[in-house]
Structure 1
Amino acid sequence: MKTAVALIAAGLVAILLGIGFRTVWAPPETLSASYSAGESTAPVTVIEPAVFGVHDERVDISVEADGEFLLAVGRAGDVEAWVGEAAHTAISAVDGGQLQAEIVEGEAEVPNPAGSDLWVSEETANGSTEHRWIEPAEGEWSILLAADGKQPAPATVTVSWPNDSSTPWSMVLFIIGALLAVLGLALAVLARRGGSDAGGPDAGSRIGHPEAAVAGASAGSAAGQRVRGRAETVAGRLVKPVFAVAAAGALAATVLQPARAAESSAASSEAGTAYPVLLDGQLNRILDSVAAAVAAGDSAQDAKELTSRVGGSALTLREANYAVRAENSDVAAPAPVAAEPLRTAMVSTTASWPRTAVAVTQGKDNQVPQVIVLSQGGPRENYKMVEAVQMLPGTTFPQVASEAGGTAAVAPDAADGLLHAPKDALELLAANLNGGKNADKVAKNTFTDQIRSFQDAQVKANENADITFSRKVAPDSVRALKTADGGAMVFGYISNVMSSVPAEPGATVELSDEFATLAGERSTTSGVDVTYGESVAVYVPPTGAKEPVSVIGVAQDLVDAKIK
């Protein structure tokens, strides 16, 4: 009977413990970790990728500051590159319920990071903000916090995430408690039945026979022992599986931990994967900004309106066009730049700078599709349109889709599996435009036909002048991105100088209105150099291909005229 009572009591205790684990001792639903840099004067705070890995599903970032500040999300490498040598607070991980951080010494001021093309998203807040972390795409991401680049950055950060508030041991305790209680009750019933048999009708007949009474008692005791022994055996058989289940649960919990560690290790092994340097949203935002700057410049015929978003040959050609049109309204305006509809795009996966992205658009005012080449010179610079060429009739832009969502850049002087290195391909085209060389290496196209017709016409129309043409590829303008078939799209700028000198000493060379506008003279007896800019987009096939280099698009305009 004592054993039964003990089992029932143990069962009730186990059940009460199970209830306690689900109520009084239940774990919190949310965990958090905080950090405050106190009097830090660093202009930037960076929350690094490991912080967001504290939970797979949800991480909330709380930031407190004095005044307005920026919260920007960017690829971890981009954020690191933007910060550069600046002093900053690096919040690196969660350990022991605390955010681990380090204050890195460096530059006391940085440019205002607001509006950088590196950020996938950004938001401004005043005093405090709550940010629900959502990974923008595959890869490692960081959060950058800053005021204006001069004032101290926010450095009071709290990270919170859901806790595993499940209590599997409470259910185990409920089961064990219930089994123990039932077993105790069963033993109590068996014990009570044994007591009734000892005091039954046979008991009276044993009173006059002590030996029988003793024998009966002895038999009763033995029977009691046998019953108790069977009950304990049953208890052992019932309780052992319960502890086996509990042990299996503990083992499962132990086995799961290495599995998660292996998962984390596999994830970090993918850190070397090349990702496109721009997501779709970033590219669209940049194109909108470029199109707005070009529209403002074209409307005012003022190159100053372009400089925030236009550079390279695109700026050179438009700037010269504005100057000529200011004096001669008959000169055609350059083709407008449209941000949409976006027909296709090429985005580099090469993380180093300068970076390149290409968009093919055709707005309502564009007769043919336009290839817009964007370049970012460094992490603290924004992308600028460096070329805008019109696709030639009958041409097709190569397939650029790739599984990774981007494509590798090719160095100007590297063949990299191509029929020609990018710069060499442009040199072939330049020689072909000059005098028809390399006809077997450059596919026939309408641009070269028009150029040769123009050049022949200039020679015939100027009997009193000797005219020659020379072209030079601008080395810094060459950019190339791989296509899906292993070839590459190559973009660059060719400077074409038409030199005109009098055929005889003392003869006069008359200048056209456009030439005179740039040269500042109507005629010359010493000669004139007229420069045309030729932005080109060509396709270079992969090594082993039989087809030659193809001209896909061009933009040409008068750039300069100088008296010799």
Structure 2
Amino acid sequence: MRFVLAIVAFVVAAVMIVAGIAQRTVFAPPSQVTAAATVPADTRYVVIDSAVLNAHPGQQTLSVSGSKNAKTQMVAYGRTADVKAWLADQKYATIAYRAGDSAVTVKTVTPKSGSTGSSGAASTATPAPTATATPAPTGAATTQAAAPGPNPAGSDLWLDEFDGQDAQVTKMNVPSGVSVIVAGDGTAPAPDKIVLTWPVDTSTPWAFPLIIGGLVLLVIGIALYLWGLYTHRKSRGPRRKSGPKMPKLPKAPKYKPTASIEATPRGRRSTRRTRVMAPALLAGVLALTGTGAGAAFAETSTPTPTPTPTATSSAPHGNANSPAPAVTAPQLERIVKRISVAAANADAKNDPNLAKLRFAGPALQLRDANYAIRVKKADQPALPAIPAGPLELSLPQATDSWPRTVTAVVKMPNDATGKAQAPLALALVQQTPRDNYMVEYAIALEPNVKVPNLAPASIGAAVVPPDSKLLKVQPDQVAAAYGDILLNGEKSKWYSSFDLTDDKLVAQVGASWKAQEQARLAQQFGQTSTLTFAGRVGSGPVISMATNDSGAIVWVNPEEVQLHRVTEAGAQVIAGATTAALSGVAQSNTGIESVYGYQLAFYVPPAGSDEKVRLLGFAQGLVSAREVP
């Protein structure tokens, strides 16, 4: 019997070991799933939707090739709606994938006639594309007769971007609602060979247990075989022949004790019966004891706590129907780095054309004036540089249309003496999908400023209309109201609406400072000239972003005009060094007009609040100067 069991163990062990090894070798699944597509050779843009990229689970690997110039190829991904808005009037190809039969199809999407690009148009609505099936390419390249298209490289719209050699193989985990765009530089065709690869789970959880179990059975089989062999050899030893059987002795009469005499067992049999009874009694005691212990445990056991469900939101931003924020945190960090590089290049060369690549509105106006002054006045300090990071605060607009607004606060490095500097606040605006974010305002925050409670960057904030009456002061009236305070001080009707306790700008250029300047000029030159001040609203946009308390952060651009005019014949007005450098006039027989621009950020509380409007930060400087007739 032992030999039979050994043979069975050997057979089962062999089967288990072979099956385990086969799972890791012969029957091992493929390590990846690959889908390849070839697009027409004249295609400039290729779009791969997230449904295709997520056809299989796991990290996607995108490989592109076939570009005539690998340096111009790029791969980027962004929200599907943003990608289509950027393409707008451009013809592009899409790739579809059927997971059932692993078939890849290519379609060409042609915009409707009359659709125009959104880079310069006021309307940013995405045109409804028309999809037409594209037959399998024959490999012959065709020349695209249309005009060169826009270059997608470097766009702020993309969540991430890979250029040149980095675009050949890209690994990504693209979520739903995000698409990939593959392109050249807008003039050259995109790479025409697209390969998608997904990893496959090649784990074989039964291989190791089968091999180990087979080895264990093999050892058991060997042990059974050796045991059977030993027993067999032992049973074949020499045996003695037995003689004649002894006659049986007569049986002695059995002794029967009386009932009154207790029979005490003796000898081996009594011991054996005692040994048999002891385990039986012990088992009974344990059974009774176990029953009692179980009952006691049931009465004293600690009740199992019942988990309390926590309400969570399945939508990524709390509301599936709410628009997503204009940018993500990593996307904004990349945008700020690009702005920092562009600002450094423009500042180093005093080149307003380079500044126009990333600055607009009041921020560009102040930089242009600073460049013009520094060309003629070498000791004029430059404006604060835009640091590349880190970001201390980001507040994107929650929107799916354009223009889009983003507020960012960037930490400033210590100055040359090691003293900490106030953070820099930026207001960025993207006018159309093909435009980059431009710096409209760049201000230094006030020391110890109290920033209101803002929405998280993952949710975003709404833009408040300039004429909103839900705030204590309408956003489009804040500039004029604060300008009136700078001119008239306590006599202004807006004076009680603003918190001026720690307002450093009022202390620097407010009504008291203006009165001192006028008095100093009259004392020094008598009645030969006059110095007057007037306020006006600049051309910068009014930007208002809602806070969590129904208030708003409002960015405005008031301007102040200083007119120094001659009132006595023969007298002259001498311009300061900065004014002379910007106006080109050192002295005048008539007068000099200087315009100072202010970039201001306020917190405006909601209507009915007991709080007052307070200044969060500012930047100011001379923006224009001229001689007046």
Compute the TM-score of the two structures, normalised by the length of structure 2: 0.63
Report the counterpart of residue 426 of structure 1 in structure 2.
479
Give how far 1:554 is off. 0.7
Partner residue, 2:110: 105
Which residue among 142, 151, 166 is the counterpart of 2:179?
142
Q: 2:424 aligns with which of 364, 370, 377?
A: 370
What is the 5 A alignment of 1:223-302?
272-302=321-351
Q: Deviations over 1:70-128 (max 9, x none)?
A: 11111212211221211111235547533344212366532222222222222235698
Q: Do 1:418 and 1:543's aligned partners in 2 also have CA atoms closer than 8 Å? A: yes
CA distance in 1, matches of 2:340, 2:198: 42
Give the AA of the match of 2:429: S
CA distance in 1, matches of 2:576, 2:316: 66
Counterpart check, 1:123 vs 2:162: yes
1:64 touches 1:127 (CA, 8 Å); kept in 2?
no
Q: Are 1:514 and 2:539 counterparts?
A: no
Map of 2:215 onto structure 1: none
Distance 1:347 1:31 in 2: 38
> Which has a greater percent of helix?
1
Indicate the SS of the match to 2:610: coil
Q: Which moved more, 1:496-505 or 1:430-439?
A: 496-505
Residue from 509, 512, 518 that aligns with 1:459: 518
Deviation per CA, 1:303-357: give whole Å up to 9, x if none: 3443333332222212212322333345443233323343222222223223222
Deviates more, 1:315-324 or 1:554-563: 315-324
Give 1:548's aligned residue. 612
1:163 to partner: Cα distance: 7.0
The aligned counterpart of 1:75 is: 79
Is 1:559 matched with 2:623? yes
2:105 aligned with 1:55, yes or no?
no
Q: What stretches of structure 1 of length at least 5 have no aligned partner?
A: 1-18, 168-264
SS in 2 for 1:499: strand
For 1:65, the equivalent position in structure 2 comes to: 66
Q: CA deviation at 1:410?
A: 2.7
In 1, the alpha carbon distance for the partners of 2:350 and 2:159 equals: 33
Shift of 1:427: 2.7
Say if 1:64 and 1:507 are closer, same or farther in 2 by CA, change over 3 A: same
Residues 92-491 of structure 1 mapped to structure 2, 5 A cutoff: 92=96, 94=98, 97-105=102-110, 108-124=147-163, 129-135=168-174, 140-161=177-198, 272-360=321-409, 361-365=411-415, 367-402=421-456, 404-415=458-469, 417-436=470-489, 437=492, 438-444=494-500, 445-452=503-510, 453-460=512-519, 461-462=521-522, 463-491=527-555
- Is residue 362–residue 540 contact of structure 2 (8 Å, CA) maintained in 1? no
Q: Does the CA-based 8 Å contact 1:72-1:120 persist in structure 2?
A: yes
Aligned counterparts of 2:487 and 2:373: Cα–Cα separation in 1: 25
- The alpha carbon displacement at 1:164 in A equals 9.1
Any gaps of 5 or more consecutive residues in structure 2?
A: 1-18, 112-145, 205-313
C-alpha offsets along residues 36-91 of structure 1, whole Å, 9 cap, x if unaligned?
A: 3334x231111123223323434443433233221111121221122121111123
- Structure 1 SS opposite 2:497: coil
The aligned counterpart of 1:533 is 597
Q: Residues 99, 457 of structure 1: CA spacing in aligned structure 2 closer, same or farther, 3 A cutoff?
A: farther
Residues 274, 404 of structure 1: 8 Å contact kept: no
Query: How far 1:380 moved relative to its partner?
Result: 1.8
> Distance between the aligned counterparts of 1:341 and 1:390, measured in 2?
15
Contact map agreement 1:64 1:128 (CA 8 A) in 2:
no
| Aligned sequence identity (%) | 31
Q: Which has the larger radius of gyration?
A: 2
Question: What SS does the corresponding residue of 2:498 show, helix, strand or coil?
Answer: coil
SS at match of 1:109: coil
Supply the AA of the counterpart residue of 1:432: I
Distance 1:42 1:150 in 2: 10
Post-superposition Cα deviations, 1:476-511, rounded to whole Å, max 9, x if no partner, equal 422222223332211122222122333356654332
Cα drift, residue 157 of structure 1: 2.9
Indicate how the Cα distance of structure 1 residues 370 and 128 shifts in structure 2: closer, same or farther if over 3 A, else same: closer
Q: Secondary structure of the residue that 1:388 maps to in structure 2?
A: strand
Q: Is the 8 A contact 1:72 1:145 kept in 2?
A: yes
- Which one-letter code corresponds to 1:131 in the other structure? T
**Structure 2: distance between partners of 1:125 and 1:118:** 19
Q: Tell me, what secondary structure is at the counterpart of 1:407?
A: coil
Name which of structure 1's ranges 530-539 and 455-464 shifts more when overlaid on structure 2.
455-464
**Alpha-carbon deviation of 1:423?**
1.9
1:317–1:559 contact (8 Å) kept in structure 2: yes
Cα distance in 1 between the residues matched to 2:461 and 2:614 = 20
Summarize the Cα distance change of 1:471–1:139 in structure 2 as closer, same or farther, 3 Å threshold: farther
Q: Which residue type is aligned with residue 171 of structure 2?
A: R
Note closer, same or farther for the CA distance 1:359–1:34 as it changes in structure 2 (3 Å cut): same
Q: Distance in 1 between matches of 2:318 and 2:579?
A: 60
CA distance in 2, matches of 1:328, 1:58: 57
| TM superposition shift of 1:142 | 0.8
Letter in 2 for 1:146: A
- Write the distance in 2 (CA, Å) between the matches of 1:38 and 1:339: 41
**How much has 1:377 moved relative to structure 2?**
2.7
Note the aligned Cα RMSD (angstroms): 3.6
Whole-Å separation in 1 of the counterparts to 2:576 and 2:600: 26
Provide the rounded CA distance (Å) in 2 between the counterparts of 1:62 and 1:338: 35
Does 2:82 match 1:91? no
Contact 2:317/2:324 (CA < 8 Å) preserved in 1?
no
Q: 1:267 to 1:317 in 2, by over 3 A?
A: closer
Q: CA deviation at 1:387?
A: 1.9
Residue 341 of structure 1 contacts residue 363 of structure 1 at CA under 8 Å; is this kept in 2? Answer: no
Counterpart-to-counterpart distance in 2, 1:555 and 1:333: 13
Q: Is the 8 A contact 1:60 1:130 kept in 2?
A: yes
Q: Report the alpha carbon displacement of residue 448 of structure 1 after superposing the two structures with TM.
A: 1.6
| Superposition pairs of residues 30-49 of structure 1, within 5 angstroms | 31-39=33-41, 41-49=42-50
Q: Letter of the aligned partner of 2:46 in structure 1? A: T
User: Offset of 1:165 from its aligned partner?
Assistant: 9.8
Shift of 1:537: 0.9
When residues 363 and 405 of structure 1 are mapped into structure 2, their CA distance, relative to the original with a 3 A threshold, is farther
What letter matches 1:278 in structure 2? Answer: V
Note closer, same or farther for the CA distance 1:446–1:281 as it changes in structure 2 (3 Å cut). Answer: same
How far off its partner does 1:151 sit?
A: 1.5
Shift of 1:545: 1.5
1:311 touches 1:385 (CA, 8 Å); kept in 2? yes
Letter in 2 for 1:140: G
Distance 1:104 1:47 in 2: 12
Deviates more, 1:464-473 or 1:91-100: 91-100
Q: TM-score when scaled to structure 1?
A: 0.70
Structure 1 residues 29 and 422, CA gap change in structure 2 (3 angstroms): same
